[in-house]
Amino acid sequence: MSHIQYTICRSGTYYYNRRVPKHAVETYGQYIRLALSKDANEAEAYSKRLTTVLEGSWTGTKVNTPVDFASVLESFKPRSALLSEMLEEYLSLREIDLKPPQIALDTFISLAGDREVSEYTREDAKLFVRHLTMKGNKTATIRRRINSLSAIMNYAYSELDLDKRNPFTRLIIRGEGDDALVRSVFTNEQLLQGYERALSSKSNVRLIMPLLGETGCRMAEVVGLC
């Protein structure tokens, strides 16, 4: 059953208009009429919410406590938030390096502005990609920036209950991967030369080179051990 049947429009404003069941008349009166919104879609959403709450209140044989309409509507109104605000929330909940998403967002906001999350479009996302490309960023870097922004957007849409496509989803980067630097593998001779130079040095981190070569660990992992 459509809840739009409980909505009427008068002078550009939509009202919730409904007859009250007999067992609830003492609490509510014979009719409920409540201003909802000037927007039809928003008014229908509020109407659905009120209908659900009211029918839950009317399930018993007697109704003693009326529904607080103002609180119901206020709690159902969509929350709005700037993109920068959603980033702060996102970072406070995630145990990740703060720098990459902050860099990505700062660049994006410098191009598209710090606006309500729901206002961003696919064109804003494409502008971001074009800007990074023109600045000479590698395609792998651009993809990382896109992924950071996409994660923030997904979090925001979920928290704000927005039914909207993420503008950063499936963005195509022209020539992605073609500019990747292919690193060759050290030969045994090169490794031995590196070991000798490292071990003969007076550096207090001279063991890093041998450890890298013999374990295959990343630099950050080996440095963390030293």
* One domain, residues 43 and 88: no
Polymer length in residues for the chain = 226
Residues 80-87 have a mean pLDDT of 88
Q: Residue 7 domain-assigned? A: yes
* One domain, residues 99 and 149: yes
pLDDT attached to residue 83: 94
Q: Sheet holding 31-37: strands in order across?
A: 7-10, 13-19, 31-37
Question: By residue range, what is the domain housing residue 116?
Answer: 83-159
* One domain, residues 11 and 41: yes
Q: Residue 134 domain-assigned? A: yes
Instruction: State the pTM of this model.
Output: 0.55
Q: Residue 152 domain-assigned? A: yes
pLDDT attached to residue 196: 87
Handedness of CA 111, 113, 114, 116 (dihedral sign): negative
Q: Residue 45 domain-assigned? A: yes
Q: Residue 15 domain-assigned? A: yes
* One domain, residues 14 and 43: yes
* One domain, residues 88 and 61: no
Query: For helices 188-200 and 208-215, what crossing angle results, to 10°?
Result: 150
* One domain, residues 218 and 194: yes
Domain final residue, candidates 142, 159, 176 = 159
Q: Are 150 and 170 in contact (CB under 8 A)?
A: no
Q: What are phi and psi of 173, to 5 degrees?
A: -110, 120
Find the range with the poorest average confidence among 18-22, 106-110, 123-127: 18-22
User: 102-108, long-range: CB within 8 Å, 24+ apart, which pairs?
Assistant: 103/145, 104/144, 104/145, 104/146, 104/148, 104/149, 105/148, 105/149, 105/152, 107/131, 107/132, 107/145, 108/83, 108/149
User: What is the tens place of the pLDDT at every residue in 153-173?
Assistant: 999 999 888 888 999 999 999
Helices (H), the chain: 25-28, 40-57, 69-76, 83-93, 99-112, 122-134, 139-159, 188-200, 208-215, 219-225
* One domain, residues 99 and 148: yes
Q: Residue 165 domain-assigned? A: no
| Alpha carbons within 13 A on the beta-carbon side of 199 | 8
Total domains in the fold of the chain: 3
* One domain, residues 90 and 149: yes
Farthest-apart Cα atoms in the chain, separation:
96
Q: Residue 100 domain-assigned? A: yes
* One domain, residues 101 and 67: no
CB within 8 Å of 202: residues ≥ 6 apart = none
Q: What is the DSSP letter of 24?
A: G
* One domain, residues 39 and 92: no
User: What is the tens place of the pLDDT at every residue in 50-75?
Assistant: 898 898 888 877 777 888 888 888 77
* One domain, residues 71 and 119: no
Q: What CATH number is associated with residue 91? A: 1.10.150
* One domain, residues 89 and 50: no
Domain final residue, candidates 48, 76, 104 = 76
For residues 207 and 198, what is the distance between their CA atoms, to the nearest angstrom?
Answer: 7
